Amino acid sequence: MVKTSVEHVQVAQGEAGRRIDNYLTGLLRDVPKTRIYRMLRKGEVRVNGGRIRQDYRLQEQDIIRIPPFYKEIRQGGLLPPSTRLQGMLRANILYEDDWLLAVNKPAGIAVHAGSGEPHGVIEVMRILRPECATLELVHRLDKATSGCLLLAKDHRYLRDLHEMLRHNQVHKHYIALVSGQIPRKLEISLPLRKNELRSGERMVQVDATGKSAKTFFYPEKKIKDATLVQIEIVTGRTHQIRVHAAHCGHPVAGDPKYGDRNFNRALKRAGLHRMFLHADSLTLMLPQTGKTRTICAPLPDDLKIFLEKYSRTNESRAD
């Protein structure tokens, strides 16, 4: 482990308007995100000599104080992600242009390093695209969720996409297997609030004091005691689909946090070894061209195989 020295960085014109937490995540690529947020909470990071919140928007010529931190060194430098992981993500690139990159994120891989994860999608993609010095995540997916994940190659483009997300101009569609029978379209509009347990585990719950959230469930196929659904989310809250599904009595299959243990146990015996939630597609207007594009992520083979096997008995089409 090597301890760095205090650094002072001046914000360039092209960085103005970015949130300080996103800026630091890109600048300190070898530092776990949990450590970066701890720096901000404790006031170790200063801007122009003063403490700032994690959502502070940078201004041109701001002076940022970067506190000392420890870096783990291996022979030849920082331990890189495995060749297998790099190859897996390279093979799962769905779309790429001069400003945007989309990846079909495999389940079980975090979107960024931290909380015991040495590498996430963003760290690996920065290695695969070293010419993209400002590559950043546009949004996030849970570690257990597979599917379409967007990354921006330019900070101005990133700001445009974040603005589109805030105004619900990016249409997100998911596929999930949920417990029980959903006979018709189901709309859930319930506010969600994040809560952190003593163990440090983050939970989300329906709460009147939370942020607004809206989810649509469209039944596609009834299979035994479950329903295959298409899902559209209007907002993008943490764990939104999982919490809304559980709250209305139809938890996502294989969900270890909000799911039904008996249902999960039965599906595991039937061959499901992960959460059945997949980010199927994203539709958005590309800010640089004004053209609308839909980016689709094929359902992973493990979910396809399980679905075919599980559908062989008592299958019926949804109404």
Which residues are catalytic, by number? 142
Q: Is 204 exposed, middle or buried (0-12, 13-18, 19+ CB in 10 A)?
A: buried
Exposure b/e, 76-88, CB count within 10 A at least 16 = b = eeeeebeeebbeb
Q: Which two tokens stand for residue 108?
A: 């079980």
Residue 66 Cα distances to 20, 23, 71, 259, angstroms: 11, 12, 14, 41
Which 3 state secondary structure label does DSSP give 74?
strand
Q: Which two tokens stand for residue 207?
A: 């709460």
Q: Which helix (H) or strand (E) holds 202?
A: strand 202-206
Region class of 271: left (phi > 0), else alpha (psi between -120 and 50), else beta: left
- CA nearest neighbour of 193 among 177, 207, 172, 212: 207
Q: Is 89 exposed, middle or buried (0-12, 13-18, 19+ CB in 10 A)?
A: buried
Contact 306, 272 (CB under 8 A): yes
Which 3 state secondary structure label does DSSP give 272?
coil
Sequence-distant (≥ 6) Cβ neighbours of residue 25 within 8 angstroms: 33, 36, 112, 136
Which 3 state secondary structure label does DSSP give 163?
helix
The label of the residue with tokens 């994040």 reads: 194
The CB density around residue 279, as the number of other CB atoms within 10 Å, is 26
